[in-house]
Every structure is written in structure tokens, then in C-alpha cells.
Amino acid sequence: MRFHVLLPFRDEADIIGQCLKDLLRWADTVYAFDTGSVDDGWEIVEAVASRDRRVKLLGREPVYFSEARLRGWLFHRARRHMRDGDWFLRADADEIHHIPPPEFVRDRLRRHETVVYHQYYDFRLRQSDVVAWETGAETIADRQRPIDQRRRWFMPNAYSEPRLCRYRETMRWPATVSFPFNAGYLARERLPIRHYPHRDPLQLQRRCQLRAVMMADSENSANWSHPERHHWSETDWRRFVVADDAPGLTYWTPGADLPEVRYTNHLSPLPVRALQRAVHAVALPIVDRIRAQASDADYPQKIPSDVTRRLEQVLRE
């Protein structure tokens, strides 16, 4: 049983090295694809790959992020190295796994559970962190410190999506869906992940600028739902900063356990779960045959050259 990681990334040089260090504690293979970085992220990943053969570079090209087309393409490239009973995991470069997935599978899952949703602990940028940055008490040089030393206040997130899945050779993941069809039986437990999307004011500002330029492209914007479009179109990075006394904000000491949260909004009602378990136990290979298959033509959507130039201009300022 092996663990395969699908890792798209872009302009996250300040944390990608820490992300890879975490993944290589437990992953058998990391399939990395750079979607258009203009910082040193690609060079950092390339250097790690030169030292550790478990990191497989799948390429570097400006493409739009897509849960379906991008991640599905990564899966299609990686699956030729997977075997029945292996596990694959969707990862992002701003995540640290609080419990290594092999340990989670061993200790937290029942034998019939084959799909795991994530439990985000969102580590937030607080108003006092912004003040420290603006007064020079914290600078870009602090990015050399581990992120868990810099950002220690978090909020558990009730939103969840599938992240970890046991592989079977018949499963289908075409470019039209964000996860394989009939991926498996959902686990009750969620995989705890420390999430660091807002690391310092400069990083957060550039994150907002990058997303706003992408969403200004009508062809890309049309692919997103209204809530997603609103989130990606936000240009004021300060709207993501939280007050130091924000309700639910909790301090975490590195190395300590995170508080257990028991959200169940990812689960269907019990009668539906009972039916799903019966179907998943015997019928998935049959159901797979009627699903659409991915192909090598399902490449991620490329970013037009004029949009790429705008992104490079904004991010290099």
C-alpha cells in the first residue's frame, strides 16, 4: 500500500519547501505541477526533486486552477503508477498534515471506509500581525522561520471536501468532475490539516491580486459559481484579516494536539449511507464502466498570453 500526492502550486515560494518537507515525511510519491509561478517556487521544488526521487515534476505552464480539469489531469498522469489498494491525496502548497495520512488510515478508518474528507484548521492573519509587519517588527526575513512559529491562531472550518481516497483501477475521473465518480464509501472521521492561506500581508496582497487578474478574464470567470467568483474577485486583502479577539479564534502551541471537532455535514443520512455501503461493497467496478473516461487531451486550461503578462507585471512589482 503506497501513498501518492497530487500537488499543483503557484507563487508559494515562502511555504512550498515546508509543504514538501511535511509530505516527504510519509508520501511514497509527490506529483508536482507548477501552474505559472513567477517567484522561486519552481526552483525550490526542482531542487528538492533533484535530492529526492519521490518528487516527480509533471511540468510548468501558466494554466487556470480547476478542481476538475487540473486535479483530474494530475490524477490521470499519476495513476499509471498506482495499484489497487494504494491511496492518493489532493494537496495544496499551503497545507501541513497534522496527522500523517498513513497513520490516519491505520488508526482512524474502518476497513470499508475508502474516501476521507478534510478537516481544515484555518490559521489566520490577525490585526496585530499586520501592525507588526507595518512597524517592521516582522519582515520578509521572518519567512525563513517555520510557518507554525509565525501563525498560531486558528479557527476550525466546517466546510469540507474529499481529499484522501483508496485507488481502484476501474475508477474514472474525467475533466467534468472535481473528484472521481463513485470514489468510495465516506469515512466519518476527517483528516486534520493545518491550513495557512494568509501568511503575511505581502503574501496575502499578492494572492488577492493574482486571483483578481484571473477572474477579470471572462472565459475563466464563467467557470466559477457565484460564491467562488466573489471570493476570488476580492481585491482588498485586509478583508481577510481578523481581529485579535474574533469569536472562535484559538491559540495553538506547535507540537500540541489540535482540538477534535466532530462535524458531520459531509455525511448523508443513515439510510442513504447504508445503501451506499451495500453498493460500494459489490457494484463499484460495474458502475465505473458506464462513466466517462479521462484522456490525455484533458489538459488544464491555458492562461492567455495577455493575462499571463498582466499577472507577471502585478506579481513582480
Grid cell of 174 as nine digits: 474525467
Q: What percent of the chain has pLDDT over 90?
A: 73
Grid cell of 92 as nine digits: 495544496
**How much is the average pLDDT of 10-16?**
96
**How much is the average pLDDT of 27-56?**
97
Q: Give which of 286, 56, 301, 84 is closest to 175, Cα–Cα.
A: 301
Grid cell of 288 as nine digits: 465505473
Q: What is the pLDDT of residue 224?
A: 47
Given a cut of 80, whether residue 271 has pLDDT beyond it is yes
233 compared with 94, residue with greater pLDDT: 94
Torsion-angle region of residue 255: left (phi > 0), alpha (psi -120 to 50) or beta?
left
Q: Could you tell me which residues are beta bridge partners of residue 242? A: 126
**How much is the average pLDDT of 225-242?**
69
Domain ranges within the chain, ordered by starting residue: 3-316
163 Cβ contact partners less than 8 Å away, ≥ 6 residues apart: 89, 90, 91, 116, 117, 118, 191, 193
Quote the CA–CA distance of 312 and 90 in Å, as a whole number.
27
Confidence at 228, pLDDT banded by 50, 70, 90 = very low
* Half-sphere exposure (Cβ direction) of 183: Cα atoms closer than 13 Å: 24
> Which residue is associated with the grid cell 522561520?
145
Could you tell me the pTM of the whole model? 0.92
Q: What is the pLDDT of residue 219?
A: 55
**How much is the average pLDDT of 202-214?**
88
Q: Give which of 266, 209, 196, 269 is closest to 237, Cα–Cα.
A: 209
* DSSP H helices in 125-234: 127-134, 147-150, 201-216, 218-221, 226-233
